[in-house]
Amino acid sequence: MRAKQFFISTMKEAPADAEIVSQKLMLRAGMIKKLAAGIYDIMPMGLRSLRKIESIIREEMDRAGAIELLMPIVQPAELWQETGRWQKYGDELLRIKDRHDRDFVLQPTSEEVVTDIARQEIKSWRQLPVNFYQIQTKFRDERRPRFGVMRGRDFIMKDAYSFDRNAEDAGKSYDKMFEAYCRIFDRLGLMYRAVRADSGSIGGSRSQEFQVIADTGEDLIVFCPDSDYAANIELAEAPCLIEKREEPKEAMEKVPTPGKDKCELVVELLGKPLTDSVKSIVLAVEQYDEKGNPLPAKIVLLLLRGDHSLNEVKAGKLDALKPGFRFATDSEIMNTFGSKPGYLGPVGIPKNVTIVADTTVANMSDFIVGANEEGYHIRGVNWGRDLREPDVVADIRNVVVGDASPDGKGTLKMQRGIEVGHVFFLGDKYSSAMKATYLDENGKPQVLQMGCYGIGVSRLLGAAIEQGHDDKGIIWPDSIAPFTVVICAVGYDKSEEVQKVSNELYGRLKEAGIDVILDDRGLRPGVMFAEWELIGVPHRVTIGDRGLKNGEVEYTHRRDLKNETVPVADIADKLIGLINNR
Amino acid sequence: MRAKQFFISTMKEAPADAEIVSQKLMLRAGMIKKLAAGIYDIMPMGLRSLRKIESIIREEMDRAGAIELLMPIVQPAELWQETGRWQKYGDELLRIKDRHDRDFVLQPTSEEVVTDIARQEIKSWRQLPVNFYQIQTKFRDERRPRFGVMRGRDFIMKDAYSFDRNAEDAGKSYDKMFEAYCRIFDRLGLMYRAVRADSGSIGGSRSQEFQVIADTGEDLIVFCPDSDYAANIELAEAPCLIEKREEPKEAMEKVPTPGKDKCELVVELLGKPLTDSVKSIVLAVEQYDEKGNPLPAKIVLLLLRGDHSLNEVKAGKLDALKPGFRFATDSEIMNTFGSKPGYLGPVGIPKNVTIVADTTVANMSDFIVGANEEGYHIRGVNWGRDLREPDVVADIRNVVVGDASPDGKGTLKMQRGIEVGHVFFLGDKYSSAMKATYLDENGKPQVLQMGCYGIGVSRLLGAAIEQGHDDKGIIWPDSIAPFTVVICAVGYDKSEEVQKVSNELYGRLKEAGIDVILDDRGLRPGVMFAEWELIGVPHRVTIGDRGLKNGEVEYTHRRDLKNETVPVADIADKLIGLINNR
């Protein structure tokens, strides 16, 4: 490509509403352009990188035996009603009506449609296993779209769906996809981690996320440096930190703690460690009578050690909090506990309040809780003696650095990540609901076992930038840079020698199959360098009359921006070697 | 590809609701699958052909200097309101609301969004010309979607948009696209014709359609075998067949024509040629008072020679019928003419009825019309003498075979076609409405001149099949067949020799870059042949023990299905020669 024939449009400053670095850099580098909240034009520069990601994904999916098809973006509501997701999926599912007032959705994902295909097309065990995938626009009507392509409404996803005869085979399909994903992210040249994850609204019993490591990531990843263990904090199992509940040593005592509405403040006042305190979190579960009329919400009190934090995903899995919880309102709290938040506790509360204690809290003795009276706490509290035993004991906290790894092989560390891929073992969640069966060797109908596998294609652009950038702009890995090499021809419009050498190098690299752009615009070197540093092309060759006098050009890698003088005769081979042997 | 690793799913019978041959064959060959009315899954077999079409289009667009980007499917209403298409575009534009109740559309085309990009990105004449294109899903909410991918709601279109400094340069961009389109359709291996066309709702002043020739096409193409002239019948200029109006020879006479409510029946009764009769077509244009309340519709009487038919597109361009017309209701006709249809005519009608005469009718003498009385016509009618001169004389008829070509170089013929591409010169229709300007050499803002260029990518699949099929199935051109070669390995599951020869040939062809599928499923030959004939792979090699005994395999081309015996040693070279040298 020659720059004059391409569309390059960079900006000095990102628009004011851009929040994170990848969004700012993609806008400034002319890779995307905002059309509406969470909806972006993919500009020519961005599309080049996107296509490279798609190609790598496609090659590895094909290699793993998956078969590409294309499912429509506009999908009939009937299929979504069959699985119940028409009702259950929140407002992110954009429901629309056509001219005949029929209901449709814009696909946020395609389990229903692919299962509809499978139940019609897969008749016999002889056709199994099969794995269908597509690379296709999705739409999720995010409440607060932001961060550019990282949390857009309109985005490109690769979604794959495997169908198998039984759970064992489905596990093999899952493993195959897991391996394909590792190859994909390896080839993309990104630092990533595969972590255990929660299945969320997709459902299913086994799932792993692929997280691109970046300090700015939304997700917290927990890992054990001494073993393979890695999990999203949502899922990471927290150990019980007290093996056995000790006998009470203190008497229960109500103490004044005016203005001390946080554990940290209370223990400071009392001269106790934070690990002696227990925090109370009040949740509510809506309830209805048999006619569907709302009743007062069920109140659930969650107890966590003062230095721990609530893990809402774990809590959401408790029967006591099903089908879904919210935080209790101030008036619900006042009505139930007789005090405002900050001074709440489990002592002397009504019997209809369910008490859920974290595993560690359940083994604590002589602990400190709120007195359910503003300005007061109680110390020396003990289970059984001072209050009834908890109704539920469960792991409801987030792990912290230093917790023991669940595999017993060390202690946990954390880093931040950006979720770019997710593999799920679905089992028969969709196939049962939609009656997708095949005939086995005995001619008997059996329910298909499924897995589903997603990669956020457009999101990967953002993740790669969050991982690779400096104050000058983007630093792409070779694999997904919009161009692998830029030839900065200084004075191209004036110097025949520069033209000749630049064109020759350009021809050599193209012949070698290298994706090169020749900047033939005749810009001043400073402007030209700044633009390509912003865009983040990894390899730069600068060709100008000054160097050519000595038969030399300059090579610069985007990562360190160190200039290296290279004889004209060697530059093509050097680049070919650098790029093809990485 | 090996058949066992691919997804092949054919049907003996097409579903009952499939109407046309391409739709039936695509469903039967497992290329598409219906999800909802006008909404189809593109199955793996179909996607292969689709991708080949896309590649050819992409290569030629790139070669012509167009630059690819990607615009969102969900687009904000505001832009469509700026150009007025939010209001004017009919129900085919699917208008939707997001969770915040904001208005959006699903893109049926992207003039608004690309013009929005241009007005932000194109600042200077130095950036021009530029041509942006995308290959992307579109949605048009057709009232009666049918014919599979030929008139779907969800479909894939390549749309390109050129921006230029002035009309002259825009004309050059248009010509470049026209040439690129010719190369594309040439490479696709389709018989097609570029014809002059009406601009329709897109607007603009110059437009041509690319029509794939097929007897089943919806469009009528008019062409002159002795010249370049070709046009959609909607646009084709009809000559006036009577150079000069002759003096009246007959007296006007009312004659009884009971039950003769068609020109053909009247002239038969009167022993006159059909060319002596004039048919009356009554149209209505809605009218409103200044407050927007409906008034009685304006009535317009169109007069055509008995053997001619109305061209509604031409009629729609007349001032007398703007802003839009409909056929008059029976009661409007009765109120105005005092007679029911079949006996209508221009003699003695109220002055407020606008009379529009086709150019030929305007020069007729002694003609026959309805008497505005059931069961009566009038003969010997003459302009001026028996009725007022027409208010409007215009070409409002369809051309007929044998009409003189507008370029004066011969007479017209007709054939049917399927519109697969359309190039439009838009001028400033969108750029003026959206204030898309650039600064010229003098620093003065100038409105961008635009063109737009579409290809129906998924529709091309259907069009190619309408053009290429027989009673056994599809006959693809090499360029877009899902596979170019199929190796039918008879007894692959049993014969080592068949396996060896098949695998060797498969390897050789793959090495030569030929898209080959090896049918390794061990099917019976009849079943296997029937399936590949349905799917329409152009080149077939049959390898079986019987032939191998003599060192021979069989070659068959899909078009004639004649079997040719070829020595094993020669088959690879023969195929490579056939495919690469076409």
Give B108's DSSP letter.
S
Are the beta carbons of B193 and B211 closer than 8 angstroms? Answer: yes
User: A278, A358 in Cβ contact below 8 A?
Assistant: no
Q: Are residues B541 and B454 in the same domain?
A: no
Mean pLDDT for the stretch of residues B483-511: 97
Element (H, E) at A54: helix A44-63
Neighbours of B149 (CB within 10 A): 27
Q: For residue A398, is it left (φ>0), alpha (ψ between -120 and 50) or beta? A: beta
In a domain, B227, yes or no: yes
Report the alpha-carbon distance of residue A453 to residue A202 in Å, rounded: 11
Q: Which two tokens stand for residue B402?
A: 């044998």
Contact A71 B117 (CB under 8 A): no
In this predicted structure, what is the pLDDT of residue A202?
A: 53
Tell me how close the Cα of B93 comes to any Cα of chain A, in angstroms: 9
Chain B hits for A44, Cβ within 8 Å: 67-69, 132
- In this complex, do B33 and A117 lie within 8 Å of one another by their Cβ atoms? yes
What does DSSP assign to residue B150? Answer: G
Chain B CB contacts of A139 below 8 Å:
73-74
* Closest Cα in chain A, distance from residue B297 (Å): 27
Mutate one of B9, B35, B78 to test the A interface: name it (highest A CB count within 10 A): B35
Q: Which of B91, B99, B115 to mutate to test the interface with A (most CBs of A within 10 A)?
A: B99
Write out chain B residues lying below 8 Å of A117, CB-based.
33, 41, 43
The minimum CA-CA distance between B318 and chain A, rounded to whole Å, is: 30
Q: Does one domain contain both B35 and B146?
A: yes
Q: Do B70 and A42 touch (CB under 8 A)?
A: yes
Q: At a CB cut-off of 8 Å and minimum separation 6, what does A155 contact?
A: A137, A138, A139, A140, A149, A456, A457, A458, A459
Is pLDDT above 60 for B204?
Answer: no
pLDDT in 10s for each residue of chain A, 582 residues: 999 999 999 999 999 999 999 999 999 999 999 999 999 999 999 999 999 999 999 999 999 999 999 999 999 999 999 999 999 998 999 999 999 999 999 999 999 999 999 999 999 999 999 999 999 999 999 988 988 888 899 999 999 999 999 999 999 999 999 999 999 999 999 999 999 887 665 555 689 999 999 998 989 999 999 998 999 999 899 999 999 999 999 999 999 999 999 999 999 999 999 999 999 999 999 999 999 899 999 999 999 999 999 999 999 999 999 888 999 999 999 999 999 999 999 999 999 999 999 999 999 999 999 999 999 999 999 999 999 999 999 999 999 999 999 999 999 999 999 999 999 999 999 999 999 999 999 999 999 999 999 999 999 999 999 999 999 999 999 999 999 999 999 999 999 999 999 999 999 999 999 999 999 999 999 999 999 999 999 999 999 999 999 999 999 999 999 999 999 999 999 999 999 875
Last residue of a domain, one of B331, B360, B394: B394
Of A411, A414, A404, A393, which is closest to residue A239 (Cα–Cα)?
Answer: A404
Range B184-195 burial, b when 16+ CB lie within 10 A, else e: bbebbbbebbbb
- Note whether B317 and B372 are same-domain residues: yes
Say whether B73 and A73 touch across the interface (CB within 8 A): yes
pLDDT at B146: 87
pLDDT(B380) > 60: yes
Nearest to B451 by CA among B483, B423, B411, B486: B423
Please give the structure tokens belonging to residue B306.
């008995």
Tell me, yes or no, whether A213 and A296 share the same domain.
Answer: no
Contact: A96, B94; criterion CB under 8 Å: yes
Cβ–Cβ of A94/B98 closer than 8 Å? yes
Helix (H, G, I), strand (E, B) or coil at B168: helix
Of B7, B9, B35, Cβ closest to residue A113: B35
Task: Tell me whether residues A113 and B67 touch, CB distance under 8 A.
Answer: no
- A197 and A114, same structural domain? yes
Q: In this structure, are A273 and A223 located in the same domain?
A: no
Write the CATH number for A102: 3.30.930.10
Residues B422 and B541 in one domain: no
For an interface test with B, give the residue of A2, A4, A6, A7 to mutate (most B CBs within 10 A). Answer: A7
Residue found by looking up tokens 């007005």 in the block = B119
* B232, B158: one domain: yes
Nearest to B44 among A42, A69, A104 (CB): A69
pLDDT in tens, B298-341: 999 999 999 999 999 999 999 999 888 999 999 999 999 999 99
Query: Tokens standing for A81?
Result: 């009603």
Q: What is the CATH number of the domain that holds A487?
A: 3.40.50.800
- Helix A44-63 vs helix A167-188: angle between axes, to the nearest 10 degrees? 140
Q: Show the 3-state SS of B227-289.
A: CCCEEECCCCCCCCCCCCCCCCCCCCEEEECCCCCCHHHHHHHHCCCHHHEEEEEEEEEEEEC
- Whether A153 is covered by a domain: the verdict is yes
* Best CA proximity match to A109, nearest among A179, A40, A160: A160
A386 and A434, same domain (yes or no): no
Nearest CB neighbour to B74, from listed A47, A92, A154: A154
Query: Is there a domain that residue B24 lies in?
Result: yes
Phi, then psi, of B446 in degrees rounded to 5:
-130, 145
Contact (CB, 8 A) for A363 and A282: no
**CATH code where residue A385 lies:** 3.90.960.10
Overall number of domains in chain A: 3
Measure B94 CA to nearest chain A CA, in Å: 7
Domain boundary (A363, A394, A425) is at A394
In the block, tokens 């299913």 appear at A204
Cα A386–chain centre separation: 44
Q: Report which of A344, A428, A438 is spatially closest to residue A387, judged by C-alpha positions.
A: A344
**Concatenated DSSP letters of B336-370:** HHSS-TTS--STT--TTSEEEEEHHHHT--SEEEE
Residue of A5, A28, A41, A73 to mutate for B, most B C-beta atoms under 10 A: A41
Residue A245, domain member (yes or no): no
Point out the residue among A41, A104, A117 whose CB comes nearest to the CB of B117: A41
Does ipTM top 0.90?
no
Within-domain flag for A407: no
A59 and A154 together in one domain: yes
Q: B292 pLDDT band (50/70/90 cuts)?
A: confident
Q: In this model, does residue B483 exceed pLDDT 90?
A: yes
Report d(CA B195, CA B65) in Å as an integer.
24
- Residue B450 backbone dihedrals phi, psi, to 5 degrees: -120, 155
The phi-psi region of residue A377 (left if phi > 0; otherwise alpha if psi is between -120 and 50; otherwise beta) is beta
Task: Tell me if A35 and B75 make a contact (CB, 8 A cut-off).
Answer: yes
The confidence score (pLDDT) of residue B260 equals 96
Q: Which of A59, A70, A138, A140 to mutate to test the interface with B (most CBs of B within 10 A)?
A: A70
The pLDDT of residue B199 is: 64
Locate the chain B residue with the closest alpha carbon to A46.
B69
Residue B24: which pLDDT band, with cuts at 50, 70 and 90?
very high
Across B298-324, b (16+ Cβ under 10 Å) vs e yields: bbbbbbbbbbbebbebbbbebebbeee
Mutating which of A74, A120, A136 best tests the B interface, going by the most B Cβ atoms within 10 A?
A74
Taking a C-beta distance cutoff of 8 angstroms, is the pair A452, A118 a contact?
no
What's the DSSP call for residue B178? H
> What band does B263 get if pLDDT is binned at 50, 70 and 90?
very high
Mean pLDDT value of segment B19-24: 95
Query: How many Å lie between the alpha carbon of A52 and the closest alpha carbon of chain B?
Result: 14
Cβ-Cβ contacts under 8 Å, B34 against chain A: none
Residue A458 in contact with residue A50, Cβ under 8 Å? yes
With an 8 Å Cβ cutoff, are B69 and A41 in contact?
Answer: yes
| Average pLDDT score over residue span B118-147 | 95
Q: A91: distance to nearest CA of chain B, Å? A: 6
Quick one: pLDDT at residue B200?
62
Distances in Å between the alpha carbon of B16 and those of B24, B39, B465, B534, B536? 9, 17, 19, 18, 22
> In A171-312, at which residue ranges do the beta strands (DSSP E only) sit?
192-196, 206-213, 219-223, 230-232, 253-256, 278-288, 294-305
Closest by Cα among A22, A46, A20 to A33: A46
Evaluate whether residue B38 is within a structural domain.
yes
* pTM score: 0.89
B185 lies in which domain range? 19-71+116-237+414-465
Q: Which of B39, B40, B70 is the closest to A47 by Cβ?
A: B70
The answer on A268 and A189 residing in a single domain is no
Query: Which is nearest to A485 in space by CA: A469, A507, A500, A468?
Result: A507
Q: Do A104 and B65 touch (CB under 8 A)?
A: no
Structure-block tokens of residue B372: 């505005």
Tell me if residue A559 falls in helix, strand or coil: coil
Q: Specify the pLDDT at position B206.
A: 83
A104/A84 Cα distance (integer angstroms): 14
Decide if A474 is inside a domain. Answer: no
Instruction: Residue A137: list chain B partners with CB under 8 A.
Output: 72-73, 137
**Between chains, do A68 and B47 touch, taking CB under 8 Å as contact?**
yes
Return mean pLDDT, chain B.
95
Residue B69 and residue A141: Cβ atoms within 8 Å? Answer: no
Q: Do A41 and B106 touch (CB under 8 A)?
A: no
Residue B99 resides in a domain: no
Q: What is the Cα Rg of chain A in Å?
A: 29
DSSP string, A262-284: SHHHHHHHHT--GGGBEEEEEEE
By C-alpha distance, which of A104, A373, A346, A395 is closest to B36? A104
Query: Are B80 and A39 within 8 A, CB to CB?
Result: no
Among B340, B360, B394, the domain boundary falls at B394
A25 and A91 fall within a common domain: yes
Nearest CA in chain A to B94: A98
Q: Is the CB of B154 less than 8 angstroms away from the CB of A99?
A: no
Q: Cβ contact (<8 Å) for B113 and A35?
A: yes
Strands B67-68 and B130-139, by their bridges, are parallel
